[in-house]
Amino acid sequence: MLANYLIGLREGLEAGLIVGILIAYIGKIERRDLYGRLWFGIGIAVAISLGVGAILTWGPYALSFQAQEILGGTLSIVAVALVTWMIFWMGTHGASLSKELRGQVDAAVDRSWFAIVLLGALAVGREGIETALFVWANVAGGSDPVLGTTGAVLGILTAVVISWGISRGLVRFNLSVFFTWTGLFLVLVAGGVLAYGIGDLQEASVIPGWGHPAYSLAAAVPPGSWYGTLLGGIFNFTPEPTWAQVIGWLVYVAITTALYLGMLQRRAGGRVPSTDVAGGRVASAASVSRAPAPTAPTPNTSTPIRSNT
């Protein structure tokens, strides 16, 4: 439940930041007539995300056991790839997120009326589909799907409340610290999802080695114990993994963690401005909309969302 809660919270905050920046900038350029189109696009994104989750949940039941295992294993690996990309994307593009979104709004305003709808759908839909796929993959490997799904929903609801508080200037929240530590945590969660996906493909005889564990920790961590259930629910831990699962987990976690820490070191050395999203300062979106428009573009005129921390 904790892993899915953090997934929902992180993805929800990313979506909330994007929506907040879009709404603030549309208000700043005095095009409030575009709000309806933007929210319509966001509604489409939410509906598509829920549809993806429903298809993943109920769609595979009509398939054979082998087909279900192949589908589950493949989608688990895809989910790991998406969440890994998301972690690195936020780390490298967070500082320029506001500027990029403002440019997309400016371009959409000059196009057809549907451009703003599409912008809202794409901006939020990416986060929603990533959340649906990764939560499904993590829940599929857990022992209690209902509890895992509940955790994700609670995380998203918490993100909505925090995002609303930030937009009203009521919440002070250091997003830099949050995204940094949840990024490291999600690497471990993704490693467990990858191991689970490899196990599914082994059960389907796509990858050899199923039924031959590399070692057994069943005596130290019994599957029915509370701590075994906790480890399984958060990290997809299994006391008797195969060699392919062990190697896959070790390679993924070692390489991804090294690259992630290297990215953080380069970002710290580059002295990312503290007023940027990735710099960890999130301000009231309402204060952004009240700020006067710049008279001429400059290299550092991004519209930040600061937390007043």
pLDDT tens-digit readout, 109-168? 877 778 889 988 988 888 888 888 888 887 776 656 677 788 888 988 998 888 888 777
pLDDT above 90 for 200: yes
Q: What pLDDT does 295 receive?
A: 43
Write the DSSP string, 105-146: HHHHHTS-THHHHHHHHHHHHHHHHHHHHHHHHHHHTSS-HH
- Residues, the chain, total? 309
pLDDT above 60 for 291: no
Return the closest-CA partner of residue 17 out of 308, 294, 304: 304
The pLDDT tens digits of the residues spanning 26-64 come to 888 888 888 898 999 999 998 998 888 888 877 777 778
Could you tell me if residue 308 is inside a domain? Answer: no
Could you tell me if residue 296 is inside a domain? Answer: no
Output the pTM of the full model: 0.73
Could you tell me if residue 304 is inside a domain? Answer: no
Return d(Cα 74, Cα 97) in angstroms, integer: 31
Could you tell me if residue 302 is inside a domain? Answer: no
- Tracing tokens 């909505």 back to the chain, one arrives at 160
**pLDDT category of residue 236 using cuts at 50, 70 and 90:** confident
Q: Look at phi and psi of residue 78 and say left if phi exceeds 0, alpha if psi is from -120 to 50, else beta.
A: alpha
CB 29 within 8 A of CB 173: no
Q: What pLDDT does 264 receive?
A: 87
Return d(Cα 95, Cα 280) in angstroms, integer: 9
Q: What pLDDT does 68 receive?
A: 86
CB 252 within 8 A of CB 193: no
Range 241-248 average pLDDT:
96
pLDDT above 80 for 1: no
Could you tell me if residue 280 is inside a domain? Answer: yes
Q: What pLDDT does 5 receive?
A: 84
Could you tell me if residue 78 is inside a domain? Answer: yes
CB 125 within 8 A of CB 40: no
DSSP 32: G
- Tracing tokens 């069943």 back to the chain, one arrives at 218
Domain span at residue 228 reads 2-290
Could you tell me if residue 298 is inside a domain? Answer: no
Range 175-195 average pLDDT:
87
- Overall number of domains in the chain: 1
Lowest mean pLDDT among 129-133, 179-183, 268-272, 278-282: 278-282
Could you tell me if residue 306 is inside a domain? Answer: no
Range 256-261 average pLDDT:
94
